[in-house]
Amino acid sequence: VAVPLAWFLAVMAIAAKESRWVLRRHLTFERLGGPSWGFLDEREYQGEYEWTHSVNLIVLRLVSFALDCSQAFGQASGPARGIYTLWNCLSHSLYAPLFLAGPTISFDDYITQCATPKKPKTSLAWYILRLAFALAALEAGLHLYPCFALARSGEFAELGPRLGAAAVFLTLNFMWLKFLLLWRVARAWALADGVDPPENMQRALCNHFSVVGFWKCWHSSFNRWLVRYLYVPAGGRDRRVL
């Protein structure tokens, strides 16, 4: 019962964040608390960062906790059952370094590393140095070619086929570099805290030869989450059609 319930609540939480769906329209202070609370629904009381921005990652962590807990209680041996507490669940779900954008780390892996920190494969100083180099490359590149501003202005539509293809290719590479910085800043913070989450974007954008390989490297941590909690329970290689 716990596993289907966890998936049901996960789907409901994701549905609740979609402003175009009916459920979100009922999640207002005015509907929940009455007309006297309606002023809290106005824009000036919403804050700069809405709760909908991080709910997807929080749901992934909560599902990870629920399924790891269910698996531990269903086996005779495994991680100590005492680790599956509300405090540890909140610690994993709201872990500051990975809260905004990830990378995604399973509950068991997170709690294990909190108890016994994993030695990183590369030194933190070298990791931060590479991160600084990537930031400098992004700043210099966007200064010379402000691709995101050009895309919003509609200038790409005025380009010919060859220049348009080159512009899109460069923009995709800058998007890769932007996400690399977002994820590696978060991961560097986690590494400094003694937690070693999976590394996203393990290879450059142009160093891929298939869509599958691109996906596995682009969002490696989410791919591992999907494999562990969806692919393997659904049958793995024996039921690829599913």
Better-predicted residue by pLDDT, 138 or 1: 138
78 pLDDT higher than 70: no
Query: Residue 242 and residue 238: Cα distance in Å, rounded?
Result: 10
Contact 68, 84 (CB under 8 A): yes
The pLDDT of residue 96 is 93
The pLDDT of residue 77 is 62
Better-predicted residue by pLDDT, 197 or 211: 197
Helical H segments across the chain, by residue range = 2-17, 22-26, 29-33, 55-73, 86-93, 96-99, 107-115, 124-144, 147-153, 161-192, 211-218, 220-226
pLDDT tens, residue by residue, 117-173: 888 778 889 999 999 999 999 999 889 888 888 888 888 788 888 888 888 888 888
Give the list of residues 6+ apart from residue 227 with CB closer than 8 angstroms, or none. Answer: none
Q: Using 50, 70 and 90 to split pLDDT, how confident is the model at 36?
A: confident
Better-predicted residue by pLDDT, 239 or 224: 224
Average pLDDT over residues 17-38: 78
pTM: 0.83
